[in-house]
Amino acid sequence: MITILLLLKLLFMSVSTTTVAAAMTSATDTTAVFKLPELPYEMSALEPYMSEETLRYHYGKHHQAYLNNVNRMVAGTRYEREPLEEIVRESDGALLNNAAQVLNHNIYFLTLAPEVAAKHEPEGALAAAIKRDFGSFDAMKVQLAKMATSLFGSGWVWLAENKNGNLVILSESNAGNPIRHGLTPLLGIDVWEHAYYIDYRNDRARSIDQLWNIIDWRVVEERYGKR
Ligand code: MN
């Protein structure tokens, strides 16, 4: 009787493990420590500036893969109970790279919105800070675009806020995130080839030029001043 129960239990466990493994590839997995953010738009909603195919690969495969790596690496460690931001502040090596890429992409995808829904220019305190620190909104966009096109290889260009509320633009290779420098990330532009190659091939400059159409400055405004 005990043997039969044990066999049934083992059988059930193996079925559960398979189910969990399958669920790990889904954004709605309820067992993983970290989950992908639900996107507040349809996969085709950012067209024609960002195709459904790009989103399916970038969010559905790349972002998901970084997330799966983090969940695998934190299992059974103290990081399992820490917020993602803390992991990015404290870890190093492969865990840092993957955790930072999850955080970077969370910020990136949640900054985007369909063209008709996006707020195309900041207002209020953020708009005032941009004018103060860069001269104008357009001058800031030019600086961001210039940094993004001149970054060699893979990386991110960030608009971030320092402890005094001043804005800075920084260029980071690979998975770099401003929180490693004590800054608050407001807007991140992904310049890895996987972010634009399907839609723009090697034309990174044009991909950034088009990205402005789907950046929602309402989201960036909400991040500003939260330090
Ligand atoms: Mn990416």
* 217 falls within a domain: yes
Q: How far is Cα 1 from Cα 186, in angstroms, rounded to an integer?
A: 61
Render pLDDT for 84-104 as a digit per residue (tens, 0 to 9).
999 999 999 999 999 999 999
Query: Is the pTM of the predicted complex or chain greater than 0.95?
Result: no
Say how many domains are in the chain: 1
Q: Give 148 Cα–ligand 1 centroid separation in angstroms.
A: 14
What count of other Cβ atoms lies within 10 Å of the Cβ of residue 31?
11
> What residues make up the domain containing 140?
124-223
Q: Are 71 and 36 in contact (CB under 8 A)?
A: no
For the cut 60, the answer to whether the pLDDT of residue 10 exceeds it is no
Q: Give 78 Cα–ligand 1 centroid separation in angstroms.
A: 27
Render pLDDT for 14-62 as a digit per residue (tens, 0 to 9).
433 333 333 344 444 556 799 999 999 999 999 999 999 999 999 999 9
pLDDT confidence of residue 47: 98
Chain mean pLDDT for the chain: 90
Q: Is 137 exposed, middle or buried (0-12, 13-18, 19+ CB in 10 A)?
A: middle
Q: Give 190 Cα–ligand 1 centroid separation in angstroms.
A: 6
**Residues whose beta carbons lie less than 5 angstroms from ion ligand 1:** 190, 192, 195
* 148 falls within a domain: yes
pLDDT confidence of residue 32: 79
Q: Give 175 Cα–ligand 1 centroid separation in angstroms.
A: 9
* 79 falls within a domain: no
Angle between helices 137-150 and 124-134 (to 10 degrees): 70
* 144 falls within a domain: yes
